[in-house]
A = this chain, B = another copy of it.
Amino acid sequence: MNASGLNVGVVGGTGYSGGELCRLLLAHPAVDKILPTSRGDQPFERNHRNLLGCGLEFVTPEQLLADVGDLDVVFFCTPTGEAMSVVERYLDHGVRVIDLSADFRFGDPDTYRAAHGLEHTAPHLLTEAVYGISELNRERVRSARLVANPGCYVITAVLGLAPLLTSGMASLDAPLHVSAINGTTGASSTPKRDVMHPHVFGSILPYNMEGHRHAPELEDVLGALTERRLTVDLNTAHGDFARGIYVQASVPLLSSARHKVDQSVLSDLYEQAYGAGHDGEHFVLLNDFPKSGKLNAKDYDVYPSVAAVRGSNFCHLGVDYDESRGIAKVIAVTDNLVKGAAGSAIQNMNTMFELPEIEGLRHYGA
């Protein structure tokens, strides 16, 4: 780190996650210089109009590489398949790398090829790369040179499912059903007919029902946590909102557990896993306000709200139990651009540079 703070590169600075990284880095007290890259000719502030007045300017990827000696850390916000051929040039100069694409999320190049249809060009880095969910493997992130930032659906689902799947109560034989609705910033920023406003307004856009590319990533991470092979039925769609991920998962419980469980048992399990308030995980919070107790009452606020985390790095969780069917329910919400991408990337950066983990991420949702 420079005396005055971190110098940060953002490779792929024109898209939604690159812009969000810059937004958060601009308010980060330990960051000195931000260098986003672009190959286009639109000025930075016109490309990201929410950052009007910030003073940032694009450089080309080549210019960034030429000044590699001045950098402390580089984030990759490039389409899958691009980072793998470049990161080593940064690592070789002692620059730490946080990759928001999928290039380093799998330990195995075969899984990568199967999920993304590409041959991996830097397989020797796959074992070195650390999968960056601070809440799960903070220590490994701390010393990593190369962090693979998780997919937005994956981090949301994993934070929601980890305590239950590792509790010994869940039946893991049948496919795990996960339904997720993502904001439209989760789609590419390239203009496309079906993501034009009139097509999304008041609608829901399911996609990749034949198997979303985040499903094997989710199976991989949950499989490592539970030390067994899992099947995840991940169903994805975009909703009529710009930011946010809503994940709902249904987990059948083992017969042995069914009659010992109720909502409060699940609630306790999650409180123990993530801690309560200031003693626990700062960004993972359980929304477990008590129900009114009336049959069929629609107590909406006993579950998490996507809108409540908008713009913030928080993940709100909710748990419930369908007693008559023996199915535990988990709801997890994040902002797909923050906890789902740029925020957790900065959280990883904070961890890697021994900064307070919540530095630059203190704002609540708006």
Question: Residues of A with Cβ closer than 8 Å to B?
Answer: 16, 20, 23, 26-27, 43, 46, 49-55, 116-117, 174-175, 177, 179, 181, 183-185, 187-189, 191-211, 213, 215, 231, 233, 235, 237-244, 246, 248, 250, 252, 263, 277-278, 282, 285, 287, 289, 295-296, 298-301, 303-312, 314, 316, 318, 320-325, 327, 329, 331, 335, 337, 362-366
Contact = CB atoms under 8 A, between A and B. Distances in A.
Contacts of A242: 197-198, 201-202, 307
A232 to B, nearest CB: 8
Contact of A23 (B189, B197, B295, B364): B364
Contacts of A43: 289
A210 B320 contact: yes
A307 B191 contact: no
A56 to B, nearest CB: 11
A241 B202 contact: yes
Given A202-B202, A206-B318, A300-B207, A364 B26 contact: yes
B233 A202 contact: no
20 contacts: A16-B198, A26-B362, A43-B289, A49-B316, A50-B310, A50-B365, A53-B282, A181-B204, A184-B198, A189-B198, A191-B196, A194-B300, A196-B197, A206-B304, A209-B322, A231-B325, A233-B250, A335-B366, A363-B363, A366-B366
B243 A205 contact: no
Contacts of A285: 52-53
Contacts of A252: 174-175
4 A-B pairs with the lowest CB-CB distances in the bound complex, closest first: A311-B366, A203-B307, A194-B300, A179-B179
**Complex copy number for this chain:** 4
Contacts of A325: 175, 211, 215, 231, 233
Contacts of A116: 295-296
A305 B205 contact: yes
Contacts of A240: 197, 201, 239-241
Nearest to A325: B231
B322 A211 contact: yes
A207 to B, nearest CB: 5
Contacts of A174: 174, 252
A289 B199 contact: no
Most buried by B among A187, A238, A325: A325
A43 B302 CA distance: 13
Contact of A175 (B244, B306, B327, B363): B327
A215 B327 CA distance: 13
B27 A362 contact: yes
A287 B181 contact: no
Contacts of A311: 310-311, 363, 366
B207 A299 contact: yes
Given A187-B298, A366-B243, A305 B235 contact: no
